[in-house]
Amino acid sequence: MINIPTSIITIDNININQAIAGEGQPVLLLHGWGVNITLVWTLAESLIRHGYRCYAVDMPGFGDTDDPPQAWTVFDYANFVINYLDYHNLEQVYLFGHSFGGRLGLILGAEYSQRIIKMALSDSAGIREETPLLPRLRLNTYKAIRDTMNTIGLKSFAENLRHQYNKRYASSDFQAVSGVMRQTFVNVVNQDLLDYAARVKVSTILFWGDKDQGTPLWMGQKLEQTIPDAGLVVHQGAGHYAYLDNLADTVRVMDYFFKQEAS
């Protein structure tokens, strides 16, 4: 069992669960959607042994951190990351982001590049995949019927239709959350960040599993083509958690990449 040195701090009236350990250059690790510090701390422990000071945080709505006060967008989460760095007086950090954390990396690398030394992203989200025709037609039909029911006063029928539609067609990530986090999820997944990727100003290494079903390999290839200074490492046989499936190789490459002088 992983021993994680957690503590609670408060930022903008939100109680935040964090873990900090190690000595050396600071690395901020951002977890994926629906998980928490635990899924990045194994990587943190390996980086600590290579001489880094690691910061990991349960982002609002995940793990032992409070929910955000209202539905957030991916930009609210990026602002939160900057507030977290400010709280710890961290002017610059190396950044690691997995999946949802990678979404934030794309924004941070474009809008707050002065705060990032170099960036490593694994199986990053952020490219919105075009919905196939049949599901798109089905969604449009559902919305039209639901809105008509609401307009003519059949709100209870509209709510029942919404429940049945979500139960049958919504993703497992959507169904796993409720309240403020359900609308947050909708806000996050509907934001295409490819234009931000094109404006990333920091050197970036991408890790990807060729068997990733959540964010398929073509997304990694697209990000490599789009981010001005990026390289792609493909882990054969790995899935959505490529950095954990090939932890030793990931750490070796990250350490070399972080310590390599800019040309």
What is the band of 179 on the pLDDT scale with cuts at 50, 70, 90?
Answer: confident
Q: Is the pLDDT of residue 102 over 50?
A: yes
Q: CA 59, CA 149: separation in Å to the nearest integer?
A: 37
Closest CA to 165 of 134, 138, 196: 138
What average pLDDT does the segment 216-232 reach?
A: 97
Looking at residue 29, its pLDDT comes to 98
Tell me the mean pLDDT in the region 217-232: 97
* Domain map (residue ranges) of the chain: 6-128+191-259, 133-180
Higher-confidence position of 145 and 95: 95
127 vs 147, which has greater pLDDT? Answer: 127
Mean pLDDT, range 241-249, rounded to an integer:
96
**Superfamily in which the 6-128+191-259 domain is placed by CATH:** Alpha/Beta hydrolase fold, catalytic domain (3.40.50.1820)
**pTM of the predicted protein model:** 0.85
Q: Report whether pLDDT(76) > 60.
A: yes
Rounded mean pLDDT of 47-64? 97
For residue 225 the two structure tokens come to 């083509």
